Amino acid sequence: MIKLAIASALVAGSITAAHAEYPERPINMIVAYSAGGGTDIAARTLAPFIEKYLGEDASIVVLNRPGAGGEIGFTELAQSKPDGYTIGFINTPNILTIPIQRKARYSLESFTPIANVVDDPGAFSVLPSSGIKTFDDLIAYAKENPGKLTYGSTGIGSDDHLSALEFERITGVQLKHVPFPGNADVRTATLGGHIMMASMNISETIADVHEGALHALGQMSNERWDGATEVPTFKEEGYDVIMGSMRGIAAPAGVPEDVVAKLEEALKAAVADPEFQTKAKEQHLALSYMNAAAYKAELESLDATFRELWETTPWVQE
């Protein structure tokens, strides 16, 4: 009788253990970029707020797995166990373009998108002394001086590069692409007058715009970002270019739905937290929360855009 009681107690115990509240151990959050970079800082700022809304014992460990434009970290996330204890930041366009431009060990289907956090629209900026004030000026200049309009981007296949390709496709003008290793170099080269235009995310260029060192022609979002309300969108000016760098959270494909729901809810609350909002403002983070369904749809539509662009203008030539 006692034996039976112990056995049933054990069984009962193990059942409650199996149904223990997620998360019951630390969650790893993979960041596919270096410590100290934009994505890393965003991740480390956000992590404590996700913990706060996941439950009292939740803890999130940020793991940096940089390299190969994010491919190393994305691959690790795609291949990890779909139990909700490994999540990670995925960044557009790299998450989508890497499998398009080379044989990768993951695809968009390898992930379960949970929520988008940041959407930093692209922007075109020029020197105020360049005489180019509007897109019309830009297009006129490019048509009059073929091959003279140089623009800098943060590399082949970056959102800065792809958005310019899309702009060329829509308008039919020819721009000359000059890749740089990072946005700091693009900024320096533009300010120094070595290239004519910077294709750079709005959050990275807005400080110079406010100081009057650069003039932003437009930002590539649906609506003007709070931090740069004076800069028109491309769409308002009649050029339908929507592009930017989205940073959201995903888990490997096959994660239980209740776990996704729980994470989604915690993320929504974390992003809305006033304290997080203040911190995000300090870091010039262009916040844009999207729930799992909307985020998934957005990623799929972007993927289709990139595949179409690749068909007409493959940005990496073999």
Contact letters for another protein, residues 174-213 (x by CB under 8 A): --x-xxxxx-xx-xxx-xx-xx-----------x------
Report, in Å, the least distance between residue 184 CB and another protein.
5
Which residue shows structure tokens 């533009």? 190
| Distance set, CA 247 to CA 95, 118, 293, 304, 316 (Å) | 10, 5, 15, 18, 23
Nearer to another protein, 156 or 269 (CB): 156
Query: Cβ of 24: how many Cβ atoms within 10 Å?
Result: 11
Angstrom distances, CA of residue 285 to CA of 105, 146, 167, 258, 303: 30, 36, 25, 29, 23
Q: Is 284 a binder of another protein (CB under 8 A)?
A: no
Q: How far is the CB of 208 from another protein (least distance, A)?
A: 10
Beta strand 197-201 pairing with 111-126: antiparallel
Q: Note whether 35 binds another protein by CB under 8 A.
A: yes
Q: Single out the residue of 154, 121, 137, 91 nearest to residue 228, CA to CA.
A: 121
The residue (of 38 and 113) whose beta carbon lies closer to another protein is 38
Task: Look at residue 89 and give its three-state secondary structure.
Answer: strand
Taking CB under 8 A as the criterion, which residues in 66-95 touch another protein? 66-69, 71-72, 75
The binding track of 42-71 with respect to another protein, each residue x by CB under 8 A or -, is ---------------------xxxxxxx-x
Amino acid at 258: D
Binding site for another protein (CB under 8 A): 34-37, 63-69, 71-72, 75, 101-102, 105, 147, 150, 155-157, 176, 178-182, 184-185, 187-189, 191-192, 194-195, 207, 315-318
